[in-house]
């Protein structure tokens, strides 16, 4: 390198040094430290004691670990595909040529930018078995009242429904994808006699599959890390930070939190976090491999 290139490199590193320091101090170091803790017994005080694979072996005999894993996968398997359908439906509605469409777009998007803890508190009121809005709607059609928070058969479904309030964000991305489809292709299909349904399933849907893949990966990441909703709804149900009736709201990150800060098992919580990381990477790789058969990146 010339003298000028070395000076430019030095100046560049100097300017980005605050970011480098923050990245190492607040991301790299905590990741490596949590890896060390996952092989240790640590209560948060004193010095971690190395225990090898004891924390990982403990998981296989831990019923709460399997319960939390089941609850999380159950929630993710429902919330992600339903979220894709809801977001796409909202995007199609946003794409209609009607008067005051900008106002309708704002109304559909606003819930997605509200803090999740605020939405969770509002959701507890909506789901109240005695005076909640949902049961009032159920009553109009003569359906029986549902205990959304106290009945373990409905608790996870209530959070799945709540997740759809955030569909406005992905809907804007879907809207951009819909706007990016060349009109010439749709007009040619109309000339050939294609109806609305055929144009959607044969042209529109294949052309927005990259965005669908993005939404699935994003939903998978958020679904596996669901915490706030379960924490607040379970608190509203039992009056304490429990995991809801029959641990039906004991999601994986919720159990990780309880292990670390309620049971003071920092080492076990660190091991749980690494299992979550590995499972997330594995699922993402499987989805990317599966996407090769249905995602189309080229219009031709």
Give pLDDT, residue 242: 60
Q: Spell out the domain ranges in the chain.
A: 3-27, 55-291
Q: Taking a C-beta distance cutoff of 8 angstroms, is the pair 52, 267 a contact?
A: no
Q: Which residues of the chain register pLDDT less than 50? A: 236-241
Q: What is the pLDDT of residue 67?
A: 94
* Burial letters 202-238, b for 16+ CB under 10 A, else e: ebbeebbeebbbbbbbebbeebbbbeebbbbbbbbbe
55-291 is a CATH 1.10.3720.10 domain? yes
pLDDT at 236: 45
**49/45 Cα distance (integer angstroms):** 11
Establish how many alpha carbons lie within 13 A of residue 194's alpha carbon, considering only the half-sphere containing its beta carbon: 17
The pLDDT value recorded for residue 8 is 93
Nearby residues of 87 by Cβ (< 8 Å), 6 or more positions away: 167, 168, 170, 171, 174, 215
What is the structure's pLDDT at 150? 82
């Amino acid at each position: 390198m010339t003298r000028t290139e070395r000076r430019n490199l030095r100046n560049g590193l100097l300017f980005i040094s605050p970011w480098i320091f923050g990245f190492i101090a607040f991301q790299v170091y905590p990741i490596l430290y949590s890896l060390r803790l996952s092989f240790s017994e640590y209560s948060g005080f004193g010095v971690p004691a190395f225990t090898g694979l004891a924390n990982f072996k403990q998981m296989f005999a831990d019923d709460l670990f399997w319960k939390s894993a089941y609850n999380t996968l159950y929630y993710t398997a429902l919330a992600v595909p339903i979220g894709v359908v809801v977001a796409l439906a909202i995007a199609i509605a946003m794409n209609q040529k009607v008067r005051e469409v900008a106002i309708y777009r704002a109304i559909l998007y606003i819930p997605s930018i509200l803090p999740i803890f605020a939405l969770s508190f509002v959701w507890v009121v909506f789901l109240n078995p005695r005076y909640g809005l949902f049961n009032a709607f159920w009553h109009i059609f003569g359906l029986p009242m549902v205990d959304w928070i106290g009945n373990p058969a409905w608790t996870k479904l209530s959070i799945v429904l709540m997740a759809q309030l955030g569909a406005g964000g992905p809907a804007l991305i879907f809207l951009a994808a819909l706007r990016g489809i060349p009109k010439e292709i749709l007009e040619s299909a109309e000339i050939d006699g294609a109806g609305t349904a055929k144009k959607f399933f044969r042209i529109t849907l294949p052309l927005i599959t990259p965005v669908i893949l993005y939404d699935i990966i994003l939903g998978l990441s958020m679904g596996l890390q669901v915490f706030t909703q379960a924490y607040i709804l379970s608190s509203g149900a039992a009056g304490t930070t429990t995991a809801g009736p029959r641990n039906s709201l004991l999601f994986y990150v919720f159990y990780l939190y309880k292990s670390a800060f309620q049971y003071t098992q920092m080492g076990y919580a660190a091991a749980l976090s690494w299992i979550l990381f590995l499972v997330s990477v594995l699922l993402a790789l499987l989805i990317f491999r599966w996407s090769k058969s249905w995602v189309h990146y080229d219009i031709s």
